[in-house]
Structure 1
Amino acid sequence: MYQENSSSWTFACYTHDVPENGGVCVKVNEQQIALFHFTRIDAWYATQNQCPHRRQMALSRGMIGTQGEIPKVACPFHKKTFSLETGECLNGDECSIETYGVKVEGDKVFIGI
């Protein structure tokens, strides 16, 4: 499964590098990107790795889940939650995160910047 919203795809890692229902940090074009494999809903997501609350590079270590039908990630330090689809903060705060397209071809994962 992939989200296609970019015209520039960059190889990020192999599918086996990302834990099921978890995330990793990958470096793409000098940016730290949090890449998630949400196996429970058969989906891949990519966001900025930096939590906007305190500017810590931590989102790739956050817990993923859902809020209603919305797939989300919670910062491991501050528990702020963000939509993996839109980047919107689901706690009512005005901060948000960048999201990126992801596509999987065979065992290779690509991120669209």
Structure 2
Amino acid sequence: MSGPRQPAAPPRDGVTDLVRWAAFSCFLVPVVLLWCGTSLAGAAGTALGLAAVTGACRVLLRRSERLAARPPGADPGPRPGRRHRAGPPAGRGAHRGGRHTAENTPVD
């Protein structure tokens, strides 16, 4: 006889695990900094910086997951609200600033 069956565990989401560890570090790093003698303002600034980086990474990871889940031939098309620059394309003759070495004029 075998014991009662356990329901299968749901698949783990790597992004969620990563964000949880990052959130834990957003808490742990300032605590360690305070323990080592850093000012409260410095530890708070570090916590805010880590939280901002964690949030940005979470957004980018979720976006890359969505893009990877799309079918290979799916073309999203132009995004609404985006404008293309008017005018001729910047080709060989376009001046983009910087130094022009073709004009050798003496400088006093």
Question: Smaller-chain TM-score range?
Answer: under 0.3
State the structure with bigger RCO (CA 8 A, min sep 6), 1 or 2.
1
Structure having the larger proportion of residues in helix: 2
Structure having the larger proportion of residues in strand: 1
TM-score normalised per structure 2: 0.15
Higher-Rg member (1/2): 2
